[in-house]
Amino acid sequence: MFDYLIVGAGFAGSVIAERLANEAGKTVLIIDTRNHIGGNAYDHYDDHGILVHKYGPHIFHTNSRQVFEYLSRFTEWRPYEHRVLASVDGQLLPIPINLNTVNELYGLNLTSFEVEDFFAKVAEPKDYIRTSEDVVVSKVGRELYEKFFRNYTRKQWGMDPSELDNSVIARVPTRTNRDDRYFTDTYQAMPLHGYTRMFEKMLSHPNIKVMLNTDYREIEGFIPYGEMIYTGPVDTYFNYCYGKLPYRSLEFKHETLNVPVHQKAPVVNYPNEHLYTRCTEFKYLTGQEHQKTSIVYEYPQAEGDPYYPVPRPENAEIYKKYKALADATPGVSFVGRLATYKYYNMDQVVAQALTTYKQITTKPVIELVE
């Protein structure tokens, strides 16, 4: 008899497993359909001995000291600030759009003040920023929107930015200075020995048993447990009773090249060319030295493993119904990117998992009054 069955060994499931075992002294069975722990953050050494991220580039960044300190119990860090170039009009230009992007694109020599005026002239102000198109067009105008965002988004999501919530493209800011970092969070670092090593440390406790290659539905009824933590897709849990929630998928094409360096930046985005959205060269992320280099291309797909919830109003409506059902399901907590249908980064999932852990372990005890 386990106190908890945890479905999914990604960030959501592993953080809660670790807390339940280490702090609350509970017994945990954590189970995953995949043949590894770590969920989408899983990394491994490929056939050439290069550390790669199986499910695309995972860069850790957070403003939460609590999350950073929590994870620091299981890993040392390699300081790393992420940078991305976008292939636009035959040039490789820094994204997020910043002063250098505009100057290089148009062959100008503007200052920060001047680029503010430039944006003000081309921007199309909106009273209400509803969609992802509104976010960009209202800040930098239609031309930059079309060069950097429109086609990338159509490829990535299979729909126009005007059909997606503002939150999607709002992930990528616009700057008037020369800061070309992809993120500006206080803590930006990569786990020194990789994500999987960090997950191994989190799950290494006598109270935690890990079962891989298994869907939880295969063991239900055979292995007794008290409560469940579910981190898979919420619509699957409820047998799609309100219909399918769309999740966007990707196909990852990994390659190893017989050269030490392949491209000019850790990630190169291709808004307007190719079927893939971006190409990542892992050695930039990990700092590994090797005479070869491994890269991955991401090809967006409608079908396949669920990777991204699709933030738009009609999906929020469907999710609301599943959420009501989830809240009314005793003994099961729904946590993580798929189970709460939120476009969360890793740190947000860790924060959500720590909060859920607190909630489940501080449940009010109902006392019977005579």
Pair of tokens at residue 315: 């999906």
Asked if 155 interacts with ligand FAD (CB under 6 A), we say: no
Residue 276 in contact with residue 253, Cβ under 8 Å? yes
Q: Which does 8 bind (CB under 5 to 8 A by kind): ligand UDP, ligand FAD, none?
A: ligand FAD
Residue closer to ligand FAD (CB basis): 130 or 217: 217
Judged by CB under 6 A, the residue of 2, 5, 10, 326 near ligand FAD is 10
Max Cα separation, the chain? 82
Which residue has the CB atom at the shortest distance from ligand FAD? 39
Asked if 68 interacts with ligand FAD (CB under 6 A), we say: no
What residue ranges bind ligand UDP (CB under 6 A)? 86, 95, 148-149, 152-153, 156, 168-169, 171-172, 269, 271
Q: Which does 337 bind (CB under 5 to 8 A by kind): ligand UDP, ligand FAD, none?
A: ligand FAD
In sequence order, the 6+-apart residues with CB closer than 8 A to the CB of 207 are: 20, 21, 25, 26, 27, 28
Asked if 96 interacts with ligand FAD (CB under 6 A), we say: no
Residue closer to ligand FAD (CB basis): 156 or 176: 156
Pair of tokens at residue 285: 């992320």
Q: Which does 311 bind (CB under 5 to 8 A by kind): ligand UDP, ligand FAD, none?
A: none
Residue closer to ligand FAD (CB basis): 161 or 233: 233
Residue closer to ligand FAD (CB basis): 39 or 96: 39
- Which window, 9-17, 63-71, 134-142, 169-177, contacts ligand FAD (CB under 6 A)? 9-17
Judged by CB under 6 A, the residue of 55, 225, 297, 357 near ligand FAD is 55
Asked if 216 interacts with ligand FAD (CB under 6 A), we say: yes
Residue closer to ligand UDP (CB basis): 98 or 333: 98
In sequence order, the 6+-apart residues with CB closer than 8 A to the CB of 80 are: 59, 188, 189, 190, 285, 287
Asked if 67 interacts with ligand FAD (CB under 6 A), we say: no
Min dist. Cβ of residue 102 to ligand UDP (A): 15
3-state SS class at 188: strand
Min dist. Cβ of residue 6 to ligand UDP (A): 25
Please tell me the distance from the alpha carbon of residue 248 to that of residue 242, in angstroms, as a whole number: 18
Pairing relationship of beta strands 278-281 and 293-301 according to DSSP bridges: antiparallel
Judged by CB under 6 A, the residue of 26, 262, 312, 337 near ligand FAD is 337
Judged by CB under 6 A, the residue of 5, 12, 17, 50 near ligand FAD is 12
Asked if 277 interacts with ligand FAD (CB under 6 A), we say: no
What's the sign of the alpha-carbon dihedral 7, 8, 9, 12? negative
Please tell me the distance from the alpha carbon of residue 336 to that of residue 15, in angstroms, as a whole number: 11
Judged by CB under 6 A, the residue of 307, 319, 322, 334 near ligand FAD is 307
Residue closer to ligand FAD (CB basis): 17 or 115: 17
Please tell me the distance from the alpha carbon of residue 364 to that of residue 320, in angstroms, as a whole number: 26
Residue 293 in contact with residue 259, Cβ under 8 Å? yes
Please tell me the distance from the alpha carbon of residue 269 to that of residue 280, in angstroms, as a whole number: 9
CA distance between the termini of the chain: 32
Asked if 293 interacts with ligand FAD (CB under 6 A), we say: no
Which of positions 22-41 make contact with ligand FAD (CB under 6 A)?
A: 31-34, 39-41
Judged by CB under 6 A, the residue of 132, 231, 256, 280 near ligand FAD is 231
Lookup result for tokens 């800040």: 139
Binding residues for ligand FAD, rule: CB under 6 A, are 7-13, 31-34, 39-41, 55-59, 215-216, 231-232, 250, 307, 336-338, 344-347, 349
